[in-house]
Structure 1
Amino acid sequence: MEKSDHQDNGLLVPLCVLRKLTNNNRVTSLEFINNDKLLVSGTCAGNIDFWDLKTSKYVLSNKIEGNHYNQINKTIYSENSRSLYVQSREGELYIMESIEENEKLNVIKTIKKSKLGYSMAKLAYFSSESCINNNHINTGNAKSPLFPLVPTEDSIVLLDPRNNHNHAITFKLPEKKIDKLMEIETLSEYSLIGGFESGKIAIWDTRKYYNDESNNSGLVINKYLNDDDKSPIMSIKRAFNRIWISSFNSKLQVYNRNNFDIPIKTVTPLKGVVDKISVRSDYLVTILSYATNGILELFENKNIEPVKAFNTNLKDINTIEFSNFSSSSLFACSTNTISIFDVCPDSYYNYQETTNLTRQ
């Protein structure tokens, strides 16, 4: 994949743009796999495509059958089991068989969940030996398997990685069918956090799950993030020991993952509501998306300071995703097409030129 110039007067120029000539539907999920060799994308029409990032062409295409609008919300690829977990907007979790080059994927299991009318949260996962040992789950010969975390209308289900029809843990939502779950994220190898439309956050701990006499399924925190401003939670992402949380009131707060009483820092967003947050796999860099105006803002996590803001010239960005490969600076965002960027080369950290996106 040949690189072009990174920027021109604040405009971030993509390394490449991926598009299909037919069935060019809105792209609703993205995932880098195989050390950045491939990108998996899902569309609002239920299509799953595998793109070769060296040639910028799709090499495999699959269709999840179902209703006319069977949107793909999220995919997670397991390197160890060579399986692909696919979450649809209709509430199903599809488990697809091993990815073989130039062969169609087949659905080997379909787990029917409640429709996601009460949840906007996307599929997430644990990957932890401690989680395995603590919950006495038999993983066979698998090493550090993924534990899919599947949101439903009244719970978050942790699936057994060896028998995905069995629930290892069911985390009950504090106010099921009343408060819409907007986002879930793992806090540690034991715990996870959920953000809600009411402005509340909830935290569950797997270590407390089996000893929870209150029948709260390991729930340890259920509180408003801001008592004085109960604005819906938009996005939650972990960057090592810090948690970035954005709200609909254009507030962006960074917390220590062990203390949600007082934020480490409250950041004034550059262009209004931060609807999506993505974190590089080495946790050093966080990027914010302002979907309606195509602006991306890059932050350095150690000091929680802005590095640079970019204009992508993309309107109504659907999803953003950093590479999962350690220290890679590849980043993707989608509309009806997929734009691949190199958002944090070393030169940006010393870049001093003023652009029209400079903070006031």
Structure 2
Amino acid sequence: MRHTWRWFGPVDKVGVQDAAQAGAKGIVSALHHIPTGDVWPVDEIVRRHEEIKAGGLVWDVVESVPVSESIKTQTGDWRQHVANWQETLRRLSASGIRTVCYNFMPVLDWTRTDLRWETRNGARAMRFDLVDFVAFDIHLLQRPAAVDDYDAEIRDRAAKRFAEMPEERRLSLSKNVGAGLPGSADGYTLPQLRDHLATYDGISREKLQQHLIDFLAEVTPVAEAVGINICAHPDDPPWALLGLPRILSTEADYAHMLDYVDSRANGMTLCTGSLGARAENDLPAIARRFASRIHFVHLRNVHREEEGAPCSFYEDEHLEGHTDMVAVIAELLKEEKRRRSEGRSDHEIPMRPDHGQEILDDLTRGAQPGYPAIGRLKGLAELRGIERALTHSNYGME
């Protein structure tokens, strides 16, 4: 696999040279300062390439070109936004980019109740606490239909939790849930979040699925023409939130998307952390089924505190948690071997160690939550070790 590292640009407290020292060969980045829906300027794309080269690496993957809420709801300037997305693909291809990740999550791109939760050994990790989230939804956000989305037992637990919650925790919970996309300037106050939720009134899960298919029908031919693989990131967490539909949460969801727009350029980002938060998702089986359409991989692990969905979970160490990481990597290596035998130019699948616990000096660096230097270095080293063992000429599967 191609070992890459996410970098949020010059504002990132973990630099490109740090990534190189950690063992990464390429960088995953995006132009987070460009407003969603706009075409990415050529000079800004060139500048990002130069910034990464100055640190000793190259820009391998774009994560992400954001899909606007207008496209997801098919309202306002959504057709112009689709055209702008197409033009951005053309410009990225001209600069040498061959992989573009995106997501189709409505309003909230990812959701955690804790961004720096303390684990049993003093490390810090991101966490989704279901009771805290329900307390936020019913008592802080005060979404009118929230009480109908939860059973009496979880509502009672949330009410008790909220009553005992100090004001400082209430404020941090609101900030954490509304934090927005990592690396971006996005984020919502409670009134803003209520307004954004209202734009999805009348949009069912089936309708949002169709909007995704409509979007892909427009952008996939452009991706094919310019030699870019586009890959959809799964929902995080993989279930409906705040009354909003989620449409890339299960194996069946991906089968629907990939079957309807059946082009190799239209693929998936296999995120073992996002999909792993749902017990029914068999990650090695998903990797095996969609192997030929996996264009990008996020390897991370979560520990589920219950087996149902939704549930509480936290970001575990890369080789811990509930996902069999060795089995997943074995499936990916088999696919790479198959692609090499076919002569595919994309036989080397880009992978990055997704997230990581803050450990050692990470605890005082103040990097983007989930993206520490040493925690990701540790994860990458462990994942590389698995890959090296599985491909060893004497002992591996090669």
TM-score by length of 2: 0.27
More strand by share: 1
**Structure with the larger RCO, 1 or 2 (CA within 8 Å, 6+ apart):** 2
Between Structure 1 and Structure 2, the one with more helix by share is: 2
